[in-house]
Amino acid sequence: MADFIDADLPGARFDNTDLSGAQFRAVDLSGADFRSVDLTGAVLRGVDLTNVDIYGELQNVTVNGVAIVPLVEAELNRRYPERAQMRPSDPAGFRQAWATLVRLWDQTVDRARSLPPARLHEQVDGEWSFIETLRHLVFATDCWVRRAIEGDPAPWHPLGLPWSEMRGVTGVPCDRAARPGLDEVLALRRDRMAGVGQVIAAQTPASLDAGTTPVQAPGWPPARAFPVRQCLLTVLNEEWEHRLYAERDLQRLGDR
């Protein structure tokens, strides 16, 4: 345990740091930047949240006694009518969701092609560039479809990009300095998306609820069984959320 009392730590960096159970009293966090932070069970009292921007998964969140998650969910579904499709319950729903994602991503790629190629390697506010986003979705597909569902112990393509906080998982390539062109990455994406489409097309109600066979080899996800439904929902969520991030950043890149 470390105590910081009457300490000045402006600009301090906490990377891969365990602060679970930490107590913050009369602490100045103005201008702080939180990314990939687990705030499960956090309690905030007497806080001043002004000009705060939050992107993340919200569950059982109350603000001044009001449960805000239903309000946020309803507004997001209003803004993005296709969003409700991303929580399918049966094979037909999964097929519809995937067809929607393919269509929306085609539109996003067309938008990206309108920018100079160098812009597609630019990051906005420290987030992934467009090319990096596509590389990460290749990684997600390799993990949750090719490895978890199909049982390939080492499915990862060298251009796949793990999440930023992933450190040294044996056998998983992680070349963060690679700068492939858009067409090269799109060819890889088309191959992976076709594979996802084939897996989804083959699903039945029984197969969705079945468990995967644990892959006994180093890598990600861990060597345990997952419901096929959970694996495919993870892929849908990755595809949906990262496309929204990409659209947001393409807009800002186009405005520069």
pLDDT band at 121 (very low <50, low <70, confident <90, very high): very high
Strand partners, 62: 67
Mean pLDDT of 23-44: 90
Percent of the chain with pLDDT over 70: 100
Best CA proximity match to 141, nearest among 167, 164, 159, 166: 159
pLDDT for the residue numbered 255: 87
Question: Chain-wide mean pLDDT for the chain?
Answer: 93
Query: DSSP label at 170?
Result: T
| pLDDT at residue 86 tops 90 | yes
pLDDT for the residue numbered 57: 86
pTM of this structure: 0.86
CA count, 13 A, side-chain hemisphere, 67? 6
pLDDT for the residue numbered 133: 98
Measured distance CA(134)–CA(211) in Å, rounded: 28
| pLDDT at residue 216 tops 80 | yes
| pLDDT at residue 22 tops 80 | yes
Best CA proximity match to 95, nearest among 14, 198, 247, 249: 198
Measured distance CA(36)–CA(38) in Å, rounded: 7
- Given the candidates 1.10.167.10, 3.90.550.10, 1.20.120.450, 3.30.70.100, the CATH classification of the domain at 84-255 is 1.20.120.450
pLDDT band at 169 (very low <50, low <70, confident <90, very high): confident
pLDDT for the residue numbered 56: 84
Both tokens of residue 100? 């929607």
Mean pLDDT of 242-252: 96
CA distances from 153 to 75, 148, 171, 189 (A): 41, 9, 10, 20
| pLDDT at residue 36 tops 90 | no
